[in-house]
A and B are shown apart, each in its own frame.
Chain A
């Protein structure tokens, strides 16, 4: 008997404004304490998948019309987003989205909203966040609109951590950050995964980075999952190597050869 996964997305379909079909049957699992990545190009449906799970699609006039989303064995696809956060599933949206007129500390504290007036627990969490992101300590009284992009991303992750999540949905944490900073952020994500036992579902365009840190991966195109497998298997898959990692059998592709040899994907999108 296989252990039930922490998150189970079962063949969901998402429609925006009652007409636009964005997801056409997406299924995926995230095991307890695992790191799973969701890869795909712009417009493949990664963000919509995450928002369907966290129930934020409703705030954009979208709707899960078919399929189910289960978290810890309970259906959450009809719930209100804050109730899902209270259960321990939180999304860190693309583009960081800190509250720019709030100070870093106030911003972090908003993450603990669902925990009510547990003053002592919240204070401990705040200290934990500062431990993982020591850079935020110096900026705690600065408005988040004035801190750097990397600090904003740290603030956004820290804020999510304040909710004591069991699963974090991260949407493009690498976006717009310098490579070194991306490396640093990913290392912290892995550290949080190990030490705080937070499972991660990571939507990324940076396939290289995502497959390096994840155990399992799904590849999306046109609102469907077209391929999934262990991160190592995916890394070795010829199509993934060519289309997502920019590698071919002979190393970097030379544009001189493009005319003669055009590889076709072996899946149908």
Chain B
């Protein structure tokens, strides 16, 4: 039993990272109908920026600077890339996002180089156990940070004036514009939030695996999460991330031995396929309110 719980917890802690990446996708998709292919590259970019800043300044300042860079990136993306594409079909926006992903990756690597870099935040990695369930402080720290971020975002969207405006934009762009909500600025704020989320994900994964090109591939891990959670649902992204994280870990440990292991890599996609068959809009996809 203790072993089961340990596998479950460690899965959940990985899952919350999936949640973060998927959350970035969901936020941007909800607000601007763009399937942001560049979400993974934004994580890489943030990781590279942080490593770069860390060589010349202390951690807290480097974090602030990284978030500053991500904010500039968000505004640049919206005002330079997407402004001329207002009211264009979704496929064109999608192509623009693919282009953007290579651009972000290229810029990041040309500034900070292509070599894999270690990222040390000075968070101790101490393994301890509660009734024989082994956990480590490093994973718990990032789980906690991600949790706080998620709660903060939910409060922001539900309780603040800007959050309300962003929800309005997500429902109907033109109507939002007609009541005086500046659409481009709303999108920029959304991209900025997605950038912050990407930063946390990038830093968490980067400090575990090293900051390198493969970091941008975590975007693919988010795809099954999005299908499971519903592409435009914040709650969905968070819960589905946890389900996928826990699911793949449990499957690997308990089912893996029977089929020779390696389930982890494709289990999420299998889960996503099942969902596509039976519940294509995911667990929490936006209910389409159709008046009859």
Question: Which residues on A sit within 8 Å (CB–CB) of B180?
Answer: 81-82, 85-86, 90, 111, 113-114, 163
A35-76 near B? 1/0 per residue, CB < 8 Å: 000000000000000000010101111000000000000000
Residues of chain B with a CB closer than 8 A to A101's CB = 167, 170-171, 286, 289
Q: Which residues 145-167 of B sit at the A interface, judged by CB distance below 8 A? A: 161, 164-165, 167
Kindly identify which residue among B164, B178, B289 contacts A81, using a CB–CB cutoff of 8 Å.
B178
Q: Is the CB–CB distance between A99 and B171 below 8 Å?
A: yes
CB neighbors of A among B161-204 (8 A): 161, 164-165, 167-168, 170-183
Chain A residues contacting B174 (CB-CB under 8 Å) are: 56, 59-60, 93, 97
Asked if B171 contacts A102 (CB within 8 A), the reply is yes
Residue A145, interface by CB 8 Å: yes
Task: Tell me, yes or no, whether A146 is within 8 Å of chain B by CB.
Answer: yes
Residues of A within 8 A of B177 (CB): 56, 59, 81-82
Query: Of B168, B173, B183, which contacts A110 at CB under 8 A?
Result: B168
B86 at the interface (CB under 8 A from A): yes
Tell whether A143 is near chain B: CB-to-CB under 8 Å: yes
B178 touches A54 (CB 8 A): yes
Within the assembled complex, what's the spacing in Å between the Cα atoms of A81 and B175? 11
A49 to chain B minimum Cβ distance, whole angstroms, is: 15
Q: A59-B86, A143-B289, A146-B289 known; A109 and B164 CB under 8 Å?
A: yes
In this assembly, does A91 line the interface, its C-beta being within 8 Å of a C-beta of chain B?
A: yes
Cβ of B87 within 8 Å of any chain A Cβ, yes or no, is yes
Q: Which residues of B contact A80 (CB under 8 A)?
A: 182
Say what secondary structure dominates the interface of chain A: helix
In the complex, what's the smallest C-beta–C-beta distance from A101 to chain B, in angstroms? Answer: 5
Q: How many residues of B contact A (CB 8 A)?
A: 24
Please state if A90 and B178 are interface contacts (CB–CB under 8 Å).
Answer: yes
Give every chain A residue within 8 A of B178 (Cβ-Cβ): 54, 56, 81, 85, 90-93, 97
B-contact 0/1 string along A137-161, CB 8 Å cutoff: 0000001011001000000000110
The reply on A100 being an interface residue by CB < 8 A is yes
Q: Which residues of B contact A90 (CB under 8 A)?
A: 178-180
Distance A26 CA – B177 CA, assembled complex (angstroms): 24
Cα-based distance from A98 to B174 in the complex (angstroms): 11
B176 touches A110 (CB 8 A): yes
Beta-carbon contact of B86 and A102 below 8 Å: no
Enumerate chain B residues within 8 angstroms of A97, measured Cβ to Cβ.
Answer: 172, 174-175, 178
Most buried by A among B174, B175, B178: B178
A-B contact pairs, 17 of them (CB 8 A): A56-B178, A60-B87, A61-B86, A81-B177, A85-B179, A90-B179, A93-B174, A98-B175, A99-B171, A102-B168, A110-B176, A110-B181, A111-B179, A113-B165, A145-B289, A149-B291, A163-B180
10 closest A-B pairs by beta carbon, nearest first, are A85-B180, A145-B289, A97-B175, A114-B180, A99-B171, A82-B180, A110-B168, A82-B182, A99-B168, A100-B289
Report B's interface with A, CB cutoff 8 A: 86-87, 161, 164-165, 167-168, 170-183, 286, 289, 291
Other A-B pairs, 9, CB within 8 Å; known A82-B180, A109-B161: A58-B86, A59-B183, A90-B179, A99-B175, A101-B167, A102-B168, A110-B181, A113-B180, A163-B180
